[in-house]
Each structure stands twice: as structure tokens, then as C-alpha cells.
Structure 1
């Protein structure tokens, strides 16, 4: 699969191969939607996203630019009644096919858990309980939860799994690399699939990985583009520009320059060796974070040009399509945060297709057959 194919696959492609009985619309709700990566992945997998919830104003605006037909609740999920969402979307408890979300994970981040604590005190982590609250009321047929790997060791995740089991859900949880599922980026994530109508299974890995070269091969120079996101300018001192120009192309690092050419702050630290490093053309990119436009935040220099990747290039490496809209008036920091925090659409689409397959198969089963499948 090429990068363009991985990015442009649509629900039309899927429905063209589905039988009439499989063509029915499957509903989904996206909690903690951010700028819409999860919703985009669900749509690519053939789901009809009927509602989404997001608290951040700039993320809300970006979501609405790209998903105008979805009913967006621009508010704190802790103040939202799930029965109201069901009523607004014409659903009853048990009707919803998929409830999906990624509770904000900053409190579970790797840097926050370096001391091996398995219970991090951060109010955002308690949003996992709100995810369960929505499950309890909505009774969706299937569930998808995505998060950072550290969540697996937190007691709240164990409690959530126990609650879902008590509600009748079978579950499968793995820590996977998004690069194995059509994302041109190395990104380890925890994903949990749950179902009360069939036995859930993770999607099979893609046959090959998409490289930086494949993902960016159709992107022109920022100076010649009409894409305002791609053309957002850099502001670097002359000294930093000269340092970047010295770093070897195609995977080089500041450590290749020798000790006398290191920045003073780098000489004081033995860690963070990827900062001021270049990506390699024929490998996947490193994890795209909110600092993806800043060379001091990671290996975010372009493989060949003496600049960081642009925000459009960062979005492509996250698996967004080329025409995904961002309002540049929000500024680089806000857009970088949205892109870095987004769920890679191809990764979501792969696992949503696995759930969709199970849902459609369960739809054709008798109640007795369905109960036997979920009990296995």
C-alpha cells in the first residue's frame, strides 16, 4: 500500500465490496475528539460518526472545519449527560455500534511516569471514569479506547476493565506500533477493543511500512505552495540555521558534529540525543509530538532541507489526508499541539474495520450463536 492509498482510502472503497446486508450504516460516537483524527479514522472504516465531544476551543473549530455534519458538544465531558447525547442523536441505550475515545493522556505520559509510579495524580486521568460512565448509560455494542502505554499499569485502567467485564464486554488489549498499521511514524500506543456482541480481535498488521519518502513525496517546497499550513515560516537565529546546515542529510544527528559544535545546553545533558536530528527518507518518522515544528524538541529536521518539517508534513506523517484543514490563525503552537495529540487515522481505521467486521457478522447471527461467540 502506498502512502497515498493509505491516506485516501474512503468508506466508498469499502462499501463497494460489501454485500447488501453489510451496507447498513454503523453508528459511532467520538469522546475527547481533539481535531478529529479519531473521527476521520472511524469514517474511513465505514462508521457514521453521529456525535463528538471536545473541550478545547481551537480543536473544536478544527473539528468543525473537517467534520461539519457531526454533532459536536463543545464542553467538558464531565458536565455532559450521555442520555442527552443519545436523545439528540435519536438513539436508545444499546443502539450505538461503537463508542470510541482517548481520554487526555498527559498525566500518563512517559516523562511523568519515569519513576515507575503506577498511579499518577492528575485530574485528567480521572476522565477514564467518565468514559466508563458513558459506556454504562449508552451500552454500546463495541468500544475502542486508545491511549499511551503507561495507562496499562495504572490502577484506574484495571478498575475500568473490571467494570466493563461486569457489564458483559469481552476485551482485548495490546500495546502496538502505529507504524505497523499504515502510519509513516514510529508510535507505540495502547489500544483496547471491547464488545458485548462478538469476540473482538485486533487488526492484522500491514504487509509493509510506509516511509517518510513515501509520505512526503508529493509535497512541494513551502516557498511555492498555496497551502498556508505548509507555508508557515520558521524563525531561527543565524547560529541555529548554520548548525542545522551542518547536520548530515538523511538521518544525521547533532552528535555527528563533534563536541566543539554542540550547543551549550546539549553539553550539559547526556539525554535527548534525537534533538536537532534529521529524519531518514527510507524509514518511518519518529513519534510526532506537539513540538514537531521545533528542532530542540526531537528528530524533526527534514531529511534533506535545512529546516524542520512543516506542520503539513507533520500532519501527513500522522496519517491525515493532504486536504485536512487547519486554521493558521491559531498559530504554530496550538496547531502543533493538535497534530501531536491526534490519533493517527490509519491506525484507528484498521482497528475500527476489525470491529466493523465483527459487528456485521454478529448482525447476521441468531441470538444463541452470538452469545456463544462472546462467551468463547
Structure 2
């Protein structure tokens, strides 16, 4: 991309690098990734060119970020501020001795407010933020828009299937520019499916792992859950099972509202939203379309847009379903990050 302008970026709340990796893939130079969790250092520094800084963004000196934004033709502040009380960031803060936010109300959005503070303090040329759709209806979002006074701003809820992510995920995306008018285009890319994404991975069994890829590992199934998944059809529900396999919750009226729990994905359709508990067959429609098991950690990561070889943990670290499931489920999908990066690059090059 010779002749293109160098966009120097900082990724706040970087997690395992979904946003950083996607922006880099698009052609943006991410100088620094910041997160409170030590576990994020390996994936950031192993897979991207960014430097990792373990820090609590709630108390981080904005001058550190301002310094990292220097040196390019254009500066970009990016991030996905956690906004639920039991998010990855909140859990990490608790482990690091930082006060956890409250269980409800305005405190749930404090880190979004903090992101706005960094906008005011560092004055980047460009800003992008990805978050959950309900944020758009919160007073803190109005405050963030006020923090962006002087910027051209556009935001919308993006259905991730329309950008080629094989997942029924919806995310609120905001972009802003001091350089001129900017907008998020309508997306209508070719739809990708579960088969397109994970169809060529080696077969493994419940509780088994691929000897060539430690993350292509599936959680164990109890005897009854093994019988249940064998009775499940792709795209079906627990109503397809014999009565003897149904759980007590299914017999209650409330159980009828959760038909996808204990479900299989469909090869030719998208995956459901990948959550922090996606490695568990009973936690949603996370059953493999064909094999009698839940999806593996590697499959979950690939459905989030990460490449097959993305390294999440050092070679000498044991695989933890709970830890990696949480980090993968909370990541910004790489495909979405790349789409955002392309918008920003095209905007800068058009000036």
C-alpha cells in the first residue's frame, strides 16, 4: 500500500487482539494495546505488531496514550469499552485489586465514560468504538457524542453477517473524524457459513483434542448430554428429543422460550453469537453440526474471525476452557475490525 497515509492507532481494552489484528489487516499501524489482563499480553505481542501495556484504563495517564499516537500521518483512538458488570475487564479488575463496578445503573458504563475522557485528553484525528447495541440508548452515549464535538460522527448497529462474519452477532459501531465528513456504508458482503469457516478442521470427539492444535479441543459431555446431542438435528431444538432426554426445565413454561439451548449449528447457516460459554453444549446452539460434541475453542475463535493459526496462549501454558472461552467470546470479531479499518483508510485516502 505504498503512498498511503500512516494511521497510528492505540487500542484501549484490547483483549486478545481482535480489534488490533483486524485494523492491522486493513493496513492500520496499531502502536499500543492496553488491557488490565496479563493474559492479553501473549496474543497481542505474538500475533500483532503492537506493544502491550498492562494497565487499568480507569486510572491510566492519558499522556501515555497521547505519546503512543504520535509519529504517524494520522492518529486513531480505538477501543471496545466493557460495559457489563461481569465483563472480562471487570473480572480482571477484581483479580488485580481494582474496585469492580456495580451490578446495575450508570456504573455499568463507567469505562465508556472513560473512553470519552481519552478522546478529550488525547484529541486523536480519528476515533472508533465497537460495543453492544443497548449502549445507543444510554445517557452515557449522549455524553460520548458530546465528547466528540468538533468531529464528524456516524454510528449504526451492524449485523455482522453483512460483513462476511459467519455469526448472527449485532454490534454498535461508531466512527468519528476531525479530518472531514465520514460515514459507515451499508454492507452487503457475501454471507459466510459455519461450513465455510470450520468445515475443514479435523474431527475430534467430546473431551478430545487435535494433537496438532491444542485449541482444537472440545469439552467433555456427560452420558445424558451425549445422548441428547446424538438426538439433536442441525438447526433443531430439544423438542426433537425423546421425552426421556428432556430436562426438567424444558417441562416448565419458561423452558419453551429457550429452544436453542442444547442445539446444533447448521453447516450452511451462520453460527449464533459466540459467547464466553460457547464451549458448552448446554449453553446455547453450540453443538457441532455433525460431530457429537460442542464446538472447540479453535472453532469458536475462527467463527469470531481469527485465523486458524492465531496464538492465544504460550506453548507451556495449559488450556483452560473457562479462561479462553471468556477471552474469545469477549473479543471484537476480527472481520468487523477489518471492515472498520477499511472505512477509516478509505476516508483518509480520499482527503
Give the structure-1-normalised TM-score.
0.82
Counterparts of 1:62 and 1:73, CA distance in 2 = 12
Question: For 1:82, which of 36, 40, 62 is the aligned residue?
Answer: 62
Residues 203 and 324 of structure 1: CA distance in aligned 2, closer, same or farther (over 3 Å):
farther
Residues 240 and 127 of structure 1: CA distance in aligned 2, closer, same or farther (over 3 Å):
same
Question: For 2:183, which of 171, 193, 201 is the aligned residue?
Answer: 201
Q: CA RMSD in A?
A: 2.1
Counterparts of 1:186 and 1:132, CA distance in 2 = 29
1:21 alignment partner, SS class: coil
The answer to whether the Cα contact below 8 Å between 2:218 and 2:297 also exists between their aligned partners in 1 is no
The answer to whether the Cα contact below 8 Å between 2:23 and 2:340 also exists between their aligned partners in 1 is no
The residue number in structure 2 matching 1:99 is: 77
The residue number in structure 1 matching 2:229 is: 244
Give the structure-2-normalised TM-score.
0.87
Counterparts of 2:257 and 2:297, CA distance in 1 = 26
Superimposed CA distance per residue, residues 211-270 of structure 1 (whole angstroms, 9 cap, x where no aligned partner): 11111122112355400100x34222212111111112x322212125443112332323
5+ long unaligned stretches in structure 1: 1-14, 110-118, 363-376
1:27 alignment partner, SS class: strand
Residues 42 and 195 of structure 1: CA distance in aligned 2, closer, same or farther (over 3 Å):
same
Q: Does 1:318 align with 2:304?
A: yes
The residue number in structure 2 matching 1:343 is: 332
Answer with 120-129 or 277-286: which moved more. Answer: 120-129
Q: Does 1:150 align with 2:130?
A: no
The answer to whether the Cα contact below 8 Å between 2:83 and 2:109 also exists between their aligned partners in 1 is yes
Counterparts of 1:65 and 1:123, CA distance in 2 = 34
The answer to whether the Cα contact below 8 Å between 2:8 and 2:76 also exists between their aligned partners in 1 is yes
The answer to whether the Cα contact below 8 Å between 2:276 and 2:325 also exists between their aligned partners in 1 is yes
Residues 171 and 120 of structure 1: CA distance in aligned 2, closer, same or farther (over 3 Å):
farther
User: What displacement does 1:90 show?
Assistant: 7.0
Superimposed CA distance per residue, residues 7-60 of structure 1 (whole angstroms, 9 cap, x where no aligned partner): xxxxxxxx2xxxx432x3221110100100000110011000001110012233
5+ long unaligned stretches in structure 2: 88-102
Report matched runs for 1:71-220 at 5 Å.
71-87=51-67, 89=68, 91=70, 96-107=74-85, 120-121=104-105, 123-165=107-149, 168-220=150-202
The residue number in structure 1 matching 2:267 is: 281
Aligned residues: 327
Q: Does 1:255 align with 2:261?
A: no
Q: Which runs of 4+ in 1 moved over 4 A?
A: none
The answer to whether the Cα contact below 8 Å between 1:27 and 1:50 also exists between their aligned partners in 2 is yes
The residue number in structure 2 matching 1:50 is: 31
Please identify which structure carries the higher helix content. 1
1:77 alignment partner, SS class: coil
